[in-house]
Amino acid sequence: MWDTLWLDAHLASMTVGEAPYGAIEDGAIAVEGGRIAWVGRRVDLPGRPEALAREVRSCGSRWITPGLIDCHTHIVHGGDRAHEFELRLKGARYEEIARAGGGIRSTVAATRAASEAALYESARRRIADLQAEGVTTIEIKSGYGLDRESEARMLRVARRLGATLPLTVRTTFLGAHALPPEFDGRADAFIEFLCQDILPSAAAEGLVDAVDAFCERIGFTLGQTRKVFEAARGLGLPVKLHAEQLSDQGGAVLAAAYGALSADHLEYLSEAGARAMAAAGTVAVLLPGAFYFIRETRLPPVDLLRREGVRIALATDCNPGTSPMTSILLVLNMAATLFRLTPEEALAGVTREAAAALGLGASHGTLEVGKAADFVLWNITRPAELAYRIGGNPAALAVRGGQPLWPAMRS
Ligand code: NIG
Ligand code: FE
């Protein structure tokens, strides 16, 4: 007998097939032991609902999607950069501020100074915004510590968030995010120390699910990024890359050569980069919040990605410098309005494709038997509404591992 049977729902299963959104009208989902045990049309249920499950719940004709996945965040960090925002409004550019010692480095100082408890609490609040919109899985990067102890502290906080909240957390080591002040003028020596010491010690503590780097004029070179990828490979860890955000460095080609789970940002992606990503199955993670917030004018080449068959995911990039954003629904709207993704592509970008970008494609991201029973009930009449609205929150109930995250459905 199943634990719970959810009835009277329309399902946007997000499986790939004939129907847009993998839609199943008048569907049902059965949950057993935190996983999806049955999903399909209600008329195809193998018996009377009461005979099949201990608990039967009506969804009141709402739509159900998979739990949303934010696959690229820097949500654990100290301080904020509202002052930098003011400077930019007076004309300073993001790259100028970074070169003048502000930018990522100012968040490094604030993060190093913050206690583990303070980092946990500030991240928990930001995560609560995402959870309210149906996010059940997030990725959290390090990269504002840049020394052994501070990087490990960020990742421990990420692990603790996953252990204490109803949330699946994947951690990414982003030690190669910026050059810390104590290594000024010695970027190669920093990368050496990162590969020999900081990364292996974080990995030995079980804190690292994947490894990322910032390959950019104001970040690290292609050669330095390759060293980080080699170190990750030596530890058996998958890689991802902040690639082609402000310029074309050839990062996507390199990431694909290492079988990267994803290459992220990609406004300056070349044709060669897209082809390499397609061949390697590397997911493109687009980050419209950062594009919007730094007023980038170069659009990521969405048509090229489609043409080459590169999978497209979306995320908040929640960080204090380029995307102080905690709304996954706004990401959907921005992806549609700014990048011209269809609402269906946008929803796939925060479900099925985001799961792939985290290496969780087999267990998360669609409503399919055997996958985690993570799903969201929505007060909408069609799935496109999720990308259509600006502000407002139609989430009626989020369910993770079969457990509702709040006591009653919102209307
Ligand atoms: O994803 N591009 C590099 N990293 C972040 C920005 C970090 C910051 O400015 O603090 C990003 O946009
Ligand atoms: Fe980022």
- For 354-366, how does the pLDDT look when each residue is reduced to its tens digit (9 = 90+)? 999 999 999 999 9
Whether the predicted model's global pTM rises above the 0.75 cut: yes
What pLDDT score does 102 carry?
A: 84
Sign, CA dihedral 121-127-129-134, equals negative
Amino acid type, 204: A
- Best residue among 77, 247, 295, 322 to mutate for probing ligand 1's pocket (most ligand atoms within 8 Å of CB) is 322
User: For residue 353, what are its two tokens?
Assistant: 């494709």
Ligand 2 centroid to 46 CA: how many Å? 46
Residue 107 buriedness (CB in 10 A; 0-12 / 13-18 / 19+): buried
Q: Is the pLDDT of residue 243 over 90?
A: yes
pLDDT confidence bin for 65, thresholds 50/70/90: very high
Q: pLDDT of 208-224, one tens digit each?
A: 999 999 999 999 999 99
- Best residue among 214, 246, 285, 293 to mutate for probing ligand 1's pocket (most ligand atoms within 8 Å of CB) is 214
Q: pLDDT of 142-198, one tens digit each?
A: 999 999 999 999 999 999 999 999 999 999 999 999 999 999 999 999 999 999 999
Distances (CA, A) of 45 to 49, 58, 108, 209, 215: 8, 15, 54, 39, 51
Ligand 1 centroid to 175 CA: how many Å? 13
User: For residue 186, what are its two tokens?
Assistant: 């010695």
Q: In angstroms, rounded to a whole number, what is the distance separating the alpha carbons of residues 150 and 208? A: 14
User: For residue 303, what are its two tokens?
Assistant: 């048509």
**Residue listed under structure tokens 């500030």:** 122
Q: pLDDT of 307-348, one tens digit each?
A: 999 999 999 999 999 999 999 999 999 999 999 999 999 999
CA-nearest residue, atom 12 of ligand 1: 322
Check residue 320 and report its DSSP letter.
Answer: T
What pLDDT score does 256 carry?
A: 98
Report the percentage of the chain scoring pLDDT > 70: 100
Q: Is the pLDDT of residue 101 over 90?
A: no
- Ramachandran bin of 104, using left for φ above 0, alpha for ψ from -120 to 50, beta for the remaining angles: alpha
User: For residue 394, what are its two tokens?
Assistant: 């139609």
What pLDDT score does 98 carry?
A: 84
Mean pLDDT of the chain: 97
- Nearest ligand by distance to the CA of 219: 1
User: For residue 195, what are its two tokens?
Assistant: 């590969």
Over residues 360-385, mean pLDDT: 98
Ligand 1 centroid to 321 CA: how many Å? 6
Q: Is the pLDDT of residue 99 over 90?
A: no
Q: What is the DSSP string of 334-390?
A: HHHHHH---HHHHHHHTTHHHHHHTT-TTTSSS--TTSB--EEEES-SSTTHHHH-S
- Residues 6 or more apart whose CB falls under 8 angstroms from that of 324 comprise 80, 81, 293, 318
Ligand 1 atom nearest to 323, measured from its CA: 12
Check residue 300 and report its DSSP letter.
Answer: P
Q: What is the DSSP string of 234-297?
A: HTT--BEEEESSSS--SHHHHHHHTT-SEEEE-TT--HHHHHHHHHHTPEEEE-HHHHHHTT--
What pLDDT score does 95 carry?
A: 87
Q: Is the pLDDT of residue 234 over 90?
A: yes
Q: Which residues surround ligand 2, an ion (CB under 5 A)?
A: 317
